[in-house]
Chain A
């Protein structure tokens, strides 16, 4: 049997635009609402969505950090403590909310995301940069690790003092191999994309279905509703 019949993961069933909208809702809530309850409820909703997509660990992690930040902030304001800075805590809890759906966005298969993004009014080139950045992000992190190891072997990172005495050298050692390596990979990837017709003028469809389905409608309606309610709270 073909894999088409195979049980699909839930994340494969959602449209990229839905997640974008979720992110947008999260942004609006985080910046408009002044009530902790409204903010908290919406965060909990996003937490549930992440869990439903099987990202239990990450969802729980985010939610715990969120709660800790809020509780701590309350304690600080009550007892007039300012270390760690209350600004930091409020930023954590404010920014964590939009970061959660953004994480979901990064989890969508890139081909599917491309298909969804194609239906949005973003210039192709700008969109391509975004997609390729998503593709490069894990690779670059890996390369960073390699360069750091090489610096360790060479003794460039022997001690904090050593780094602080030559900060510019250290920076140079980190940047130079990264740039060489990344440019090489960028070229190879470009070559590989070109020989597979990335520049062809055809109208492009996708392997993935990009259709707003019942599930999407449900998520959109509930999320928008929740966002409005939470803002009014």
Chain B
């Protein structure tokens, strides 16, 4: 059986920088599934970290109040023992793994807790069988898809038989199909009676799983909903709370007039590319017009990012042709004209403050400085201009990356999963900025499996599977798009 958790008057701050958590009291019953949601930086991650003991042991700061697990104060349990009570799944499937291969990763916890060799093997094989990954035990983790890696993460947590599971944005990097499979695993854990705490922005996959939804804002639990109440929230209420939509079917498509003109700026003809045996693009043909916002959708690992990088001139196509403004353009010539913004922005930012980020790399003339300031103004980044780019939030970084593209006057911009890991408010903000850029005459391709984002800013969708275009359609209403992205119809 799962264990109950009792939190009393919990307050935490990271070294005097204002309170992350303020006087939180919360009771979680054994076997309950709790979802904590709310804007980025609201404190929901901090709350998970208190429960798994990372606060204050790892994330330093001042903590007051008490947490009890099964009536026992958490304080009295040494930090290294806490991992036996709570199993953890984190957001980024690239950085939570310690071993290089699946078996070693699942075994990691058992090894640390002094299990004998036989016990370790038994636990690993049982956990792997539960999650149905027993046939990939000797695979390298790097060769797995993000969906598979999250399964390994769960198996690794399950191997030590914790009664509590703590998950911090586990679906942020998963496509819709993987997310549903992930939900099935959580369902199985729930049936075993485990207590599960999930901090998450995406709610749709948890609607029939969670017992309670807690809405966290500025370190406080401000609202509490049942799944029924959550579903009954109006779009307006969801927007005010800054959440993502619990039921994607209720999303209304943004009613913004298309900024597309009739001028074709990008034309892809018979594009082919492969990595070894794997075909990532097969006779891909499409056109984009000036001011158009196109969503590039399809399951993970089907070549969307590769096509984006080919268009941007970062990869050379094996065969085929890319035509920019009516002229054939080789990969070198596309650099800087087709601007690719990858998902992970930490490797993209070079400046010491926002202004420097836009102007660095060339002489800073008064005109360029003025242009940069105007761009920051347009992207609503002026209040942060003195900050170091790396201190921005995910949504702000995304906007800054758009700003860099504007500064370099790139006519075509490709964004790769710009809204993964963003809360509802930031997602809508980034989407709004994308529309704004389209209105400024930019052509924008958004690689995404985020239906909310696609509906908020894209007018057309191209669906890719195994390197082939399977669909190319104007987005009219949510249903056809959700269907093509793979959103489950049985809900709603």
Contact = CB atoms under 8 A, between A and B. Distances in A.
A167 to B, nearest CB: 14
Nearest to A112: B104
A95 B251 CA distance: 63
Interface in B316-355: 335-336, 339-340, 342, 344, 346-350
B58 A194 contact: yes
Interface string B94-132: 111111110111111111111111001100110011000
Nearest to B341: A153
Contacts of A177: 346-350
Contacts of A207: 103-104, 106-107, 110-111, 117, 120-121, 124
A65 interface: no
A180 B397 CA distance: 14
Contacts of A188: 90, 92, 95-96
Interface stretch (B133-141, B281-289, B431-439, B468-476): B133-141
B7 to A, nearest CB: 18
Nearest to B314: A149
A200 B114 contact: yes
B86 interface: yes
Contacts of B125: 2-4
A188 to B, nearest CB: 4
Contacts of A135: 97-100
Contact of A206 (B84, B117, B156, B335): B117
A134 B100 contact: yes
A155 B339 CA distance: 11
B80 A201 contact: yes
Contacts of A203: 114
A195 B79 CA distance: 8
| Residue with the greatest number of chain A CB neighbours at <10 A, chosen from B83, B90, B100 | B100
A155 B350 contact: no
Contacts of A51: none
Contacts of A201: 80
Nearest to B106: A207
Contacts of A76: none
Interface stretch (A13-21, A55-63, A83-91, A139-147): A139-147
Interface string A107-134: 0011110000000000000000000001
A111 B107 contact: yes
B344 A109 contact: no
Contact of B312 (A12, A153, A172, A193): A153
Contact of B107 (A12, A149, A206): A206
B82 interface: yes
A209 B117 contact: yes
A78 interface: no
A199 B111 CA distance: 11
B421 interface: no
Contact of B94 (A9, A139, A198, A202): A139
B88 interface: yes
Contacts of B418: none
Interface stretch (B49-57, B181-189, B194-202): B49-57
Contacts of A169: 361
Nearest to A176: B350
B346 A196 contact: no
A181 B346 contact: yes
Nearest to A190: B58
B466 interface: no
A3 B126 CA distance: 10
A32 interface: no
Contact of A180 (B103, B110, B390, B408): B390
Contacts of B80: 194, 197-201
Given A153-B340, A155-B361, A188-B95, A208 B104 contact: yes
B320 to A, nearest CB: 21
B270 interface: no
A204 B111 contact: yes
A161 interface: no
A3 B135 contact: yes
B142 interface: yes
A154 B98 contact: no
Interface in A178-196: 178, 180-181, 184-185, 188-196
Interface in B19-70: 52-54, 57-58
A73 to B, nearest CB: 35
B81 interface: yes
Nearest to A192: B96
A184 B391 CA distance: 12
Contacts of B94: 139, 185
A111 B96 contact: no
B99 A205 contact: no
A111 B97 CA distance: 12
A196 B137 CA distance: 19
| Residue with the greatest number of chain A CB neighbours at <10 A, chosen from B58, B80, B81, B105 | B80
B336 A153 contact: yes
A193 B129 CA distance: 23
A150 interface: yes
Interface in B388-442: 390, 404, 408
B134 A202 contact: no
A111 B114 contact: no
A184 to B, nearest CB: 6
A109 B305 CA distance: 30
A193 B125 CA distance: 21
A109 B106 CA distance: 13
A72 interface: no
A134 B123 CA distance: 26
A173 B95 CA distance: 23
Interface in A1-49: 2-4, 9, 12
B347 A189 contact: no
15 contacts: A2-B134, A146-B347, A152-B335, A153-B312, A169-B361, A184-B346, A188-B90, A196-B83, A197-B80, A197-B113, A200-B112, A200-B113, A200-B114, A205-B114, A207-B111
Given A200-B112, A202-B112, 15 more contacts: A3-B135, A4-B125, A109-B99, A109-B100, A147-B347, A153-B340, A155-B335, A156-B361, A169-B361, A181-B347, A185-B94, A185-B95, A196-B98, A197-B160, A206-B111
Interface of B: 52-54, 57-58, 79-84, 86, 88, 90, 92, 94-101, 103-117, 120-121, 124-125, 128-129, 134-135, 137-138, 142, 156, 160, 309, 312, 314, 335-336, 339-340, 342, 344, 346-350, 361, 390, 404, 408
Give the top 5 A-B pairs by smallest Cβ distance, nearest first. Answer: A111-B104, A202-B114, A207-B107, A197-B112, A188-B95
